[in-house]
C-alpha cells in the first residue's frame, strides 16, 4: 500500500467457520467508512465463488461464505487483493437521496431543545442539517435503520437523559455525533428533529429498502402541509440523483490534494 | 374449500422457519431460520418435503392442530408425546390425517426445540425470500408472530397422496456432546490470556436468558483486556460476545446484524444446534479448533443432511394403534434423551 494511505493495512479476522471480517481501521470516521464502501463495491463486482453476503459497517465488512465452495484462506487472500489501493477513488456513480423533512413542532419535538443546547436558533439547526451531505455509514439495529455520518460538529449533543418508549416511523434523529432515520416506530434516546414522509423500509414497496450502505442523503425542509400531501401518496419514493464519487466524497478530494 | 390447519392451542413459542433470510443483513435484517437445521430437515424429509421447506419450530411443548378440508401428511421430529384424536401416535413417523382429525404434540421429554412439517408446506408468503418468522421485527411466518390459538394455516397441498408412511430412527442421527467447538476470534485480542483460558477450560451453564436470539451463559467471568466496547461491526452466526459483565452470550439465528461488544470466538455452525437444544442449567464447555477441524465438522454435517433420505424406513400403512410399534418408538425416545 502506498505511503500516502490514510489507513493501516487491512486486517483479516476469523469469524467462525463460514465468515471473515476484513477490517480497515477502527472508530467512526468519514474517510474510513468511504473506504469500507469502496471495498464492498469491489467485492460485489468481483463475483467471488462461494461468497454469500457482505455486511459493511463503520470500519469493517463481515463476509459470509459457503465453506463447501471456498475456504477462509482462499477468500481472505482475494479480499486482501481487493483491499489494496483503497485510498484511490472508485469509479462508480454515487446515489444521493433528497429526503424531505418537516422539522420541529409535532414532527420534531426536540428541535427547540437541541437549538437551546447548541446555543443557536432553531432555524440555524435546520439550516445546518440541510446543507451537509450525510452518508449511510451502515444499516443495523432493525431492518432499514440507517446510521448517518456527517452531523456538523456544532450540532453534536449527548443523547436524551430519558429515552422515549416510542418514536414515530420516519423520525430524523440525532444522538452524539450521529444522525439517523428510523424505519419503523421504536423506542429511542435520540433527539427528534423532524419527520420525513419517505419510509426507509416498506415491505409493500419494491424496493422495500430505500437506503443502501454508502448512499448519500441531503435533507430538504418542507411544511407540515407538504408532509401530509407526500405521506398520502401510496409507495411514495423521494427524489434521488447520481453524483460523481469525487464530488460526493470530500475525503477523496483531500487525499488527492 | 382449501385444506388448512386450525390451531386449537399453540405451544409457548411456535414459529414457522426455513433456512432463513439470506442476503439482507446489510439492510439490518436478521437471518432467522431453524435453530436446529438437522431436526428441521428431518421433519421435512419425513413429511415428503425438500429439507429446507418451511416447518414449525416449537419450544418446550408443541401445538394442537385440527385438519380442516382435505387430508394432510404431518411428521413430528421431536422427543415428545404425540396424540391423534386423543390416542397415542408416534413421533419420528409420518401420519396421514383426515378432515376433522386433531393432532396434539405434548411437552418435549428432552431438548428445547422440536419440529413438525406438513407435506407440501404451509402456504405462507415468503418475505425477502424466506418464510422464517422473526418475531422482533414482525417479519415472516403468517403475520410476523408465533402461532396462536385460532390461527388458520393454509396448506399448499389439498390432498396428501395415499402412500406408505415413513419413520426415521433418531438414534441414527449424529451424536451430540456438551462440548461446543469454537474458532477464536474475531476479537480475541480484546481479552486477557487469563480470560481466554477461563473461556476454554471452565464449565458454563445455560441461563434462563436464552431464546432464538441468543443464549446467555453463567460461569466464570471472562476478563477483558481493553474495555468491552468496540466500534459496532457485523455479528456472525454463533458469535460469543462478552459484554461488561464478563458473562458470555452466544448469538443465534435471530441475532441482530450488528453489535458493539467484543466477540471472543464463534461456535462452529453444527454445534449451535446442540446449544439451541439445551435447557437452563445444562452445562457446556468450549473447545478451540482450527480451520481444518472446523471444515471437517462442517463436512460431516453436510453428510448428515445428505444421509437423511436414506434413513427413512417404511412404517407400513397408517397404523396408529399398533402397540408393539408404539413401544418401539418409546424406546427410541429414550435414546434421544441421551442427546443432552
CA distances (Å), origin B102, targets A158, B44, B67, B95 = 57, 20, 6, 12
Could you give the 3-state DSSP secondary structure of residue A100?
Answer: strand
Residue A139's CB: how many other CB atoms inside 10 A?
A: 30
Q: Which residue of B has its CA nearest to A53?
A: B23
Q: Is residue A39 part of a domain?
A: yes
Is A53 a member of any domain? Answer: yes
> Is residue A207 in a domain?
yes
Q: Which residues contact B267 (CB under 8 A, 6 or more apart)?
A: A16, B180, B181, B182, B238, B240, B250, B275, B286
ipTM of the modeled complex: 0.91
Q: Which three cell numbers stand for residue B179?
A: 462440548
Nearest to B69 by CA among B5, B120, B7: B5
Interface contact A161, partner B, CB < 8 A: no
* Grid coordinates given for A202: 416498506
Residues in chain A with CB shorter than 8 Å from the CB of B25 are: 53, 55, 62, 64
**DSSP alpha helix (H) spans, A150-249:** 224-231, 245-248
Query: Among A17, A54, A147, which would you mutate to test the B interface (most chain B Cβ atoms within 10 Å of its Cβ)?
Result: A17
| A212 contacts B269? CB cut-off 8 A | no
DSSP code per residue over B57-86 = EEESB--EEEEESSBEEEEEESSEEEEETT
Task: Identify whether residues A248 and A142 lie together within a single domain.
Answer: yes
What was the pLDDT predicted at A246?
56
Cα A98 off chain centre by = 14
Instruction: Provide the 10 A C-beta neighbour count for residue A45.
Output: 11
Q: Is the pLDDT of residue B110 over 80?
A: yes
B258·A56 Cβ contact <8 A: no
Q: Touching check for B139 and chain A: CB below 8 Å?
A: yes
Phi, psi of B75 (to 5 degrees): -130, 140
Taking the Cβ of residue B141 and every Cβ of chain A, the question of whether any pair is shorter than 8 Å is answered with no
pTM: 0.89
A59 in contact with B at a CB cutoff of 8 Å?
A: yes
Q: Which residues contact B306 (CB under 8 A, 6 or more apart)?
A: none
Number of inter-chain CB pairs under 8 A, A vs B: 134
Question: Does the beta carbon of A17 lie under 8 angstroms from any beta carbon of chain B?
Answer: yes
Look at residue A234 in the predicted model and tell me its pLDDT: 87
User: Residue B127's closest chain A neighbor by CA?
Assistant: A203
**pLDDT number for residue B323:** 46
Q: Which residue of A has its CA nearest to B293?
A: A17
A257: in domain = no
Rounded-to-integer distance, Cα B193 and Cα B56, Å: 43
Do A239 and A176 have their domain in common? yes
**pLDDT average per 10 residues of sequence, chain A (257 residues):** 59 97 92 93 96 97 97 96 81 85 97 96 97 94 91 91 88 91 87 96 89 95 97 92 66 34
Within this chain, do residues A78 and A108 fall inside the same structural domain, yes or no? Answer: no
What is the distance, to the nearest Å, from the Cα of residue B50 to the centroid of all Cα atoms in its chain? 16
Q: What is the pLDDT of residue A178?
A: 86
**Does the pLDDT at position B246 exceed 90?**
yes
Q: Round to whole Å and give the CA distance between B200 and B190.
A: 15
Q: Set out the domains of chain B in order of their start, with CATH numbers.
A: 4-165+315-337 (no CATH), 179-295 (2.40.100.10)
Please give the DSSP secondary-structure letter assigned to residue A30: H
Burial of B212 (0-12, 13-18, 19+ CB in 10 A): buried
A88 lies in a domain? no
Contact criterion met (CB < 8 Å) for A57 and B258: yes
With contacts defined as CB-CB under 8 Å, which chain A residues touch B236?
15-16, 18-19, 21, 62, 64
Would you call B237 and A140 a contact, using CB atoms and an 8 Å cutoff?
no
Distance from CA of B328 to the nearest CA of A (A): 37
Instruction: For residues B108 and B76, give the distance between their C-alpha atoms in angstroms, rounded to a whole number.
Output: 11
Query: What's the pLDDT at B1?
Result: 60
Give me the phi and psi of B106, to 5 degrees please. -85, -160
Interface check A7 vs B, CB under 8 A: no
The verdict on a CB contact (< 8 Å) between A57 and B24 is no
- For B234, which of A55, A71, A203 is closest by C-beta distance? A55
pLDDT of residue B127: 96
CATH (domain of A30): 3.30.1360.40
**Is the same domain home to A236 and A121?**
yes
DSSP letter, residue B138: T
Query: Which of A55, A82, A109 corresponds to the end of one domain?
Result: A82
Interchain proximity B258–A55, CB inside 8 Å: yes
Å between A225 CA and nearest CA of chain B = 31
Nearest to B119 by CA among B5, B1, B33: B5
pLDDT tens digit sequence for A77-133: 999 999 998 876 655 678 999 999 999 999 999 999 999 999 999 999 999 999 999
Alpha-carbon gap, residue A173 to A181, rounded angstroms: 6
**Number of independent structural domains in chain A:** 2
Cα–Cα distance for residue pair A10/A63, rounded to 1 Å: 14
For B292-316, the pLDDT digits (tens) are: 999 999 999 999 999 999 999 998 6
In the stretch 177-216 of chain A, residues with CB closer than 8 A to chain B read 183, 201, 203, 208-209, 212-213
For residues A118 and A28, membership in a common domain is answered with no
Please state, in angstroms and rounded to a whole number, the distance separating the CA atoms of residues A8 and B93. 58
Domain boundary among A82, A117, A145: A82
Distance from CA of B204 to the nearest CA of A (A): 20
Tell me the pLDDT band of B325, cut-offs 50, 70 and 90: very low
- How high is the mean pLDDT of chain B? 92
The whole-angstrom distance between residue A126's C-alpha and the CA centroid of its chain comes to 19
CB atoms within 10 A of CB B302: 12
Q: Given the DSSP bridges, would you call strands B214-218 and A19-23 parallel, antiparallel or unpaired? A: unpaired
Helix (H) or strand (E) holding B210: strand B204-210
Range of the domain at A208: 94-252
Same domain, A127 and A219: yes
Residues belonging to chain A: 257
Q: What is the pLDDT of residue B222?
A: 97
User: Residues with Cβ < 8 Å from A9, sequence gap 6 or more?
Assistant: A1
Strand (E) or helix (H) holding B24: none
The b-or-e profile of B223-239 (16+ CB within 10 A means b, else e) is bbeeebebbbbbbbbbb
Residues A154 and A176 in one domain: yes
In a shared domain, residues A129 and A243: yes
With residue B275 as reference, give the H or E element that holds it.
helix B269-276
Planar angle of CA A237, A133, A125, nearest 5 degrees: 95
Cβ atoms of B52 and B16 closer than 8 Å: no
**Residue A93: closest CA among A241, A244, A214, A213:** A244
Q: At what angle do helices A72-82 and A30-46 cross, to 10 degrees?
A: 120
Q: Answer whether B294 touches A (CB < 8 Å).
A: yes
A223 and A110 in a common domain: yes
How far is residue A181's CA from residue A30's CA, in Å, rounded to a whole number? 18
CA distance A112 to chain B (A): 30
- What is the rounded CA–CA span in Å between residue B313 and residue A175? 60
Distance from CA of A59 to the nearest CA of B (A): 8
**Best mutation target, B21, B23, B25, B27, to test chain A (most A CBs within 10 A):** B27
Q: Strand A164-167 to strand A186-188: parallel, antiparallel, or no bridges (unpaired)?
A: antiparallel
Do A142 and A205 fall within a single domain?
yes
pLDDT score, position A88: 67
* Domain match, A132 and A219 both: yes
Please state the rounded mean pLDDT for residues B237-257: 95
Pairing of strands A178-181, A146-149: antiparallel
Amino acid A231: pLDDT: 95
Of A50, A62, A38, whose CA–CA distance to B31 is shortest? A62
Nearest to A16 among B24, B238, B258 (CB): B238
Provide the 3-class DSSP secondary structure of residue B313. strand
CB B302 to CB A19 under 8 A? no
Same domain (yes/no): A31, A151: no
Q: Does B296 touch chain A (CB under 8 A)?
A: no
- Whether A4 maps to a domain, the answer reads no
Is residue A5 included in any domain, yes or no? no
Which residue has 444446534 as its cell numbers? Answer: B273
Q: What is the pLDDT of residue A6?
A: 58
Residues belonging to chain B? 340
Q: What is the pLDDT of residues B159-209, one digit of tens each?
A: 999 989 999 999 999 999 999 999 999 999 999 999 999 999 999 999 999
Which of A238, A250, A253, A215 minimizes the C-alpha distance to A96? A215
**Average pLDDT of the residues in B127-155:** 96
Nearest CA in chain B to A204: B127
In a domain, A139, yes or no: yes
Residue B331, pLDDT score: 41
What pLDDT, on a 0 to 100 scale, did the predictor assign at position A256?
A: 30
Phi, then psi, of B195 in degrees rounded to 5: -65, -45
> Quick check: A176 contacting B, CB < 8 Å?
no
Amino acid at each position: 500500500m502506498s505511503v500516502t494511505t490514510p489507513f493501516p493495512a487491512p486486517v483479516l479476522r476469523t469469524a467462525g467457520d463460514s465468515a471473515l471480517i476484513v477490517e480497515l481501521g477502527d472508530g467512526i470516521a468519514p474517510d474510513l467508512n468511504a473506504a469500507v464502501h469502496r471495498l464492498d463495491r469491489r467485492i460485489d463486482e468481483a463475483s467471488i465463488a462461494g461468497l454469500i453476503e457482505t455486511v459493511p459497517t463503520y470500519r469493517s465488512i463481515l463476509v459470509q461464505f459457503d465453506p463447501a465452495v471456498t475456504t477462509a484462506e482462499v477468500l481472505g487472500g482475494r479480499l486482501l487483493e481487493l483491499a489494496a489501493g483503497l485510498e484511490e477513488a472508485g469509479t462508480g456513480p454515487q446515489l444521493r437521496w433528497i429526503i424531505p423533512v418537516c422539522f420541529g413542532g409535532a414532527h420534531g419535538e426536540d428541535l427547540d431543545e437541541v437549538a437551546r443546547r447548541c446555543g443557536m436558533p432553531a432555524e440555524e439547526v435546520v439550516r445546518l442539517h440541510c446543507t451537509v451531505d450525510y452518508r449511510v455509514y451502515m444499516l443495523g439495529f432493525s431492518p432499514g435503520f440507517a446510521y448517518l455520518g456527517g452531523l456538523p460538529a456544532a450540532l453534536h449533543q449527548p443523547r436524551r437523559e430519558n429515552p422515549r418508549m416510542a418514536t414515530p416511523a420516519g423520525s430524523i434523529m440525532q444522538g452524539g455525533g450521529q444522525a439517523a432515520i428510523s424505519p419503523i416506530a421504536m423506542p429511542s434516546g435520540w433527539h427528534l428533529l423532524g419527520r420525513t414522509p419517505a419510509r426507509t423500509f416498506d415491505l409493500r414497496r419494491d424496493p422495500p429498502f430505500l437506503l443502501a450502505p454508502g448512499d448519500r442523503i441531503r435533507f430538504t425542509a418542507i411544511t407540515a402541509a407538504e408532509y401530509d400531501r407526500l405521506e398520502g401518496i401510496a409507495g411514495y419514493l423521494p427524489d434521488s440523483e447520481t453524483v460523481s464519487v469525487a464530488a460526493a466524497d470530500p475525503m477523496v478530494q483531500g487525499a488527492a490534494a | 374449500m382449501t385444506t388448512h390447519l386450525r390451531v386449537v392451542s399453540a405451544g409457548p413459542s411456535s414459529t414457522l422457519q426455513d433456512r432463513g433470510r439470506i442476503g439482507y443483513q446489510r439492510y439490518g435484517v436478521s437471518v432467522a431460520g431453524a435453530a436446529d437445521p438437522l431436526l428441521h430437515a428431518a421433519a421435512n424429509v419425513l413429511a415428503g418435503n425438500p429439507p429446507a421447506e418451511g416447518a414449525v419450530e416449537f419450544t418446550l411443548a408443541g401445538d394442537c392442530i385440527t385438519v380442516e378440508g382435505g387430508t394432510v401428511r404431518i411428521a413430528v421430529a421431536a422427543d415428545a408425546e404425540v396424540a391423534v384424536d386423543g390416542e397415542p401416535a408416534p413421533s419420528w413417523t409420518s401420519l396421514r390425517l383426515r378432515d376433522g382429525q386433531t393432532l396434539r404434540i405434548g411437552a418435549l421429554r428432552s431438548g428445547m426445540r422440536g419440529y413438525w412439517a406438513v407435506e407440501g408446506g404451509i402456504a405462507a408468503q415468503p418475505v425477502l425470500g424466506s418464510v422464517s418468522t422473526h418475531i422482533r421485527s414482525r417479519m415472516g411466518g403468517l403475520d410476523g408472530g408465533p402461532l396462536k390459538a385460532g390461527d388458520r394455516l393454509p396448506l399448499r397441498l389439498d390432498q396428501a397422496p395415499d402412500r406408505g408412511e415413513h419413520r426415521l430412527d433418531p438414534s441414527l442421527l449424529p451424536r451430540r456432546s456438551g462440548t461446543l467447538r469454537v474458532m477464536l476470534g474475531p476479537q480475541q485480542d480484546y481479552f486477557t490470556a487469563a480470560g481466554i483460558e477461563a473461556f476454554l477450560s471452565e464449565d458454563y451453564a445455560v441461563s434462563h436468558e436464552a431464546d432464538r436470539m441468543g443464549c446467555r451463559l453463567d460461569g466464570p467471568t471472562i476478563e477483558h483486556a481493553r474495555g468491552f466496547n468496540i466500534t459496532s461491526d457485523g455479528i456472525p452466526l454463533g458469535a460469543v460476545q462478552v459484554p461488561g459483565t464478563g458473562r458470555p452470550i452466544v448469538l443465534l439465528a435471530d441475532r441482530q446484524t450488528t453489535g458493539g461488544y467484543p466477540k471472543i470466538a464463534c461456535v462452529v455452525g453444527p454445534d449451535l444446534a446442540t446449544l439451541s437444544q439445551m435447557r437452563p442449567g445444562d452445562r457446556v464447555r468450549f473447545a478451540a479448533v482450527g480451520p481444518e477441524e472446523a471444515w471437517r465438522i462442517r463436512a460431516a454435517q453436510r453428510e448428515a443432511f445428505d444421509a437423511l433420505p436414506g434413513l427413512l424406513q417404511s412404517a407400513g400403512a397408517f397404523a396408529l394403534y399398533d402397540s408393539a410399534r408404539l413401544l418401539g418408538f418409546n424406546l427410541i425416545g429414550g435414546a434421544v434423551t441421551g442427546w443432552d
